[in-house]
Amino acid sequence: MRKFRVGWVVEVAVLFTVLGLSEVVPVNTVWILLDRGIALSKVVVVTSETIPQSKLSLVKTIIGEDLSVDSVDHLRVPEVDIERAVNLVKGRILREKESGEEVLVDVTGGRKTMSIACYKAGIEAGCKVIYVHLRDEKYFNWLYPLIPRHKYSLVVLYEPSSAK
Q: 104-119: per-residue pLDDT in tens? A: 999 999 889 999 999 9
Question: ∠37-91-64 over CA atoms, to 5°?
Answer: 40
Count the Cβ atoms, other than its own, within 10 Å of residue 6: 13
Q: Report the DSSP pairing between strands 72-77 and 39-48.
A: parallel
HSE toward the beta carbon, residue 14, CA cutoff 13 A: 24
Average pLDDT over residues 17-21: 93
Stronger pLDDT, 122 or 139, i.e. the higher one: 122
CATH number at residue 156: 3.40.50.10770
| pLDDT at residue 142 is higher than 70 | no
Whether this prediction's pTM lies above 0.85 is answered by: yes
Question: ∠20-26-30 over CA atoms, to 5°?
Answer: 170
Number of structural domains, the chain?
1
| pLDDT at residue 81 is higher than 50 | yes
Q: Which structural domain range is residue 90 located in? A: 2-7+16-163
Q: Tell me the β-bridge partners of 153.
A: 133
Residue 3 identity: K
Say if CB 5 and CB 155 are below 8 A apart. no
